[in-house]
Amino acid sequence: MGESYETLESFLQEQRLFPPSAAFKKDAVATAEIYEKGKDPEAFWESMASELHWFKPWDRVLEWNLPFAKWFINGKINASYNCVDRHIQGPFRDKTAIIWEGEPGEERTLTYSDLYQEVNRFANALKKLGVKKGDRVTIYMPMIPEIVVAMLSCARIGASHSVVFGGFSAEALRGRINDAEAKVLITADGGYRRGKVYPMKQATDEILKDTPTIESVIVVRRVGETLQMAMKEGRDYWYHDVVDAAEDYCEPEQMDAEDMLFLLHSSGTTGKPKGIVHTTGGYLTGVYATFKYIFDYKPEDIFWCTADIGWITGHSYIAYGPLLNGATQVMYEGAPDYPDRGRWWSIIEKHKVSILYTAPTAIRSFMRWGIQWLEKYNLSSLCLLGTVGEPINPEAWIWYYKYVGSERCPIVDTWWQTETGQIIITPLPGITTCKPGSATHPFPGTEAEVVDEQGSPVKPGGSGYLVLTKPWPAMLRTLYKDEKRYIETYWGRFPGKYLTGDGGKLDEDGYFWILGRVDDIIKVAGHRISTIEVESALVDHKAVAESAVIGIPHEIKGEAIAAFVILKEGYEGVPEMQKELAAHVRKEIGPVATPETTIFVGELPKTRSGKIMRRLLRDIATGRALGDISTLSEPGVIKELKQKYESEEKE
């Protein structure tokens, strides 16, 4: 923040309300009537759905058999048809769909008709390898255009994709492949990150012996010659070979609105990631409409969502939302600080990005790096800024507004989840007066509440649990192969209300403020990690007897991981052990889950019934006064922990 901080401070005190400017309002896509329309959700979503292409229209809009929703009953639709075919029949044939920038600096542009050709061919290639409607295909790739092609190709032939974030380890990939019982794995030889090549195919080879359902592996050549790896005859195929050999046209499958479009694993409150199931018609309708209105999308816009496709943000607002709208978007492969900390701003200048959608953690890094990196570039193409993934602190909001948007661009702070599929709580630019740090109001056609322990709505000014009270089209339908867990996790706490797992506050003006997770999920740099998943990885190590993992506040990442570990007899809590455990967690889950601090302790604070008291660990780690410790079985444990933690901190 450096020298700019003082001015920022005074700016913060000057204004707290940000109404849309007259200039923005004049041409805004969403006008005030949209909230009126949203008061009849079924009619509203029906009108949104009718802007898409359907082979056969629906008989009824919604069947709500709590907690099971079906949207657009008996409607037949295809996602890839809507993302590409629909556009090439009209004026968008030669419009750019994707401007891709590789980290080393290459650039590729794909028009909608390029995308059409590639998707048709690759869909045929998948068919030839035996992929059929209803099968699952796992995708584990870097951020290259072929990842979008792969997803759309699966959708074209009615196979469900299951994308696994490229930053997850091979071990994590294995679990997800096996849960999905995927038939084919699509990957790449490797990718680039901060100037270095990281191997992907080679990494997957270790686990492919333990993924019995995989019949074929398709490998995109991203890096080339420098990466040595083996291609197994009869199992492994090069992407370019199978695409070259494929026919030009593939008839899109007519999918039922409720057929599964994709499966995406996300961290839950137990060790095993949950397979979140999204279906076709409702999901497409939800992401189409939210993209259009929240990002104030106009045909000349250049949109850039900086998320990785491996997370829901990339699914909904790279792969589907923009393409359904016929938008032109930028896709970037690498890190924000390579070759220097101006990379993102250079991309915005070069491609004249008009809408930027990113995460608070990135904004906080840029704040720290200083505005000199932005000042080198012309950012005047920007019209609108968005944020997602974790609560944005008002300072970061103001900084984003002032320095990135030059006080000209509205900011949309969008709250949603892997489960919701689409943005739920958000301002609408051109309508909403923003308060930095508040995601403001539910999107038209959706409804949220903040409720107390009993499930009753809190009065304005109160805080409690954030719940959603009406079904919405892109909502998850169930958890893959685990309906019981779906019912319990989301619908078990308050009857008839979807539990988000977030704490919320409703202010006097009826604005929603998201207070972060109230369960065992943490957001590390916007990435969703379950503390229990990290604990399971730790106890999997031969030296670890027990562990407790918590999220602690972190200036840039929002939250970081702190692990309290009890070692088995004969092992020592030395720095080498910390390193070894960190490496172990990286191998089991991936670098995103690496503990920031590991503290070796003799005991963990537990209730008399044996439950670890994480709240106390959090209090210790954040230096807060210790709350009620009367239920603790061994109050002495706390003293030891506190001393340990504090001495660890000093080092």
Q: How far is the CB of 440 from ligand WTA (least distance, A)?
A: 10
Q: How far is the CB of 391 from ligand WTA (least distance, A)?
A: 4
Neighbours of 63 (CB within 10 A): 14
Give the whole-angstrom CA distance, residue 599 versus residue 489. 31
Using the minimum distance from each CB to ligand WTA, give the nearer residue, 120 or 426. 426
Strands 328-332 and 302-305: parallel
Give the one residue of 500, 530, 531, 578 binding ligand WTA; rule: CB under 6 A: 500
Phi and psi torsions of 426, nearest 5°: -170, 150
416 near ligand WTA (CB under 6 A)? yes
Q: Who contacts 291 (Cβ-Cβ below 8 Å, separation ≥6)?
A: 297, 316, 317, 321, 322, 324, 325, 327
296 near ligand WTA (CB under 6 A)? no
Q: What is residue 488's three-state secondary structure?
A: helix
Give the one residue of 87, 523, 541, 557 binding ligand WTA; rule: CB under 6 A: 523
Q: Which residue has the tokens 């809408």?
A: 355
Nearest residue relative to ligand WTA (C-beta): 418
Phi and psi torsions of 451, nearest 5°: -120, 160
389-408 footprint of ligand WTA as x/- string (CB under 6 A): xxx-----------------
422-461 footprint of ligand WTA as x/- string (CB under 6 A): -----------------x----------------------
| Binding window for ligand WTA (CB under 6 A); candidates: 285-293, 305-313, 485-493, 564-572 | 305-313
Give the one residue of 46, 256, 259, 502 binding ligand WTA; rule: CB under 6 A: 502
309 near ligand WTA (CB under 6 A)? no
The tokens of 573 are what? 């809590």
417 near ligand WTA (CB under 6 A)? yes
Give the whole-angstrom CA distance, residue 29 versus residue 430. 8
The length of the chain is 651
Give the one residue of 413, 535, 559, 588 binding ligand WTA; rule: CB under 6 A: 413
464 near ligand WTA (CB under 6 A)? no
310 near ligand WTA (CB under 6 A)? no
Give the whole-angstrom CA distance, residue 279 versus residue 269. 23
| Binding window for ligand WTA (CB under 6 A); candidates: 97-105, 382-390, 472-480, 567-575 | 382-390
418 near ligand WTA (CB under 6 A)? yes
313 near ligand WTA (CB under 6 A)? yes
Give the whole-angstrom CA distance, residue 521 versus residue 510. 27
Give the one residue of 434, 514, 534, 549 binding ligand WTA; rule: CB under 6 A: 514
Q: How far is the CB of 461 from ligand WTA (least distance, A)?
A: 19
Sort 335 into a burial class: Cβ within 10 Å, 0-12 / 13-18 / 19+: middle
Give the one residue of 505, 517, 541, 557 binding ligand WTA; rule: CB under 6 A: 517
Give the whole-angstrom CA distance, residue 363 versus residue 8. 14
245-284 footprint of ligand WTA as x/- string (CB under 6 A): ---------------------x------------------
**b/e map 539-553, b = 16+ CB within 10 Å:** bebebbebbbbbbbe
Give the one residue of 28, 277, 312, 385 binding ligand WTA; rule: CB under 6 A: 312
Return the bridge partners of 329, or none: 98, 303
Question: What is the DSSP secondary-structure string of 219-230?
Answer: EE-SS-TTS---
Contact residues toward ligand WTA (CB under 6 A) are 266, 311-313, 388-391, 413-418, 439, 500-502, 514, 516-517, 523, 528
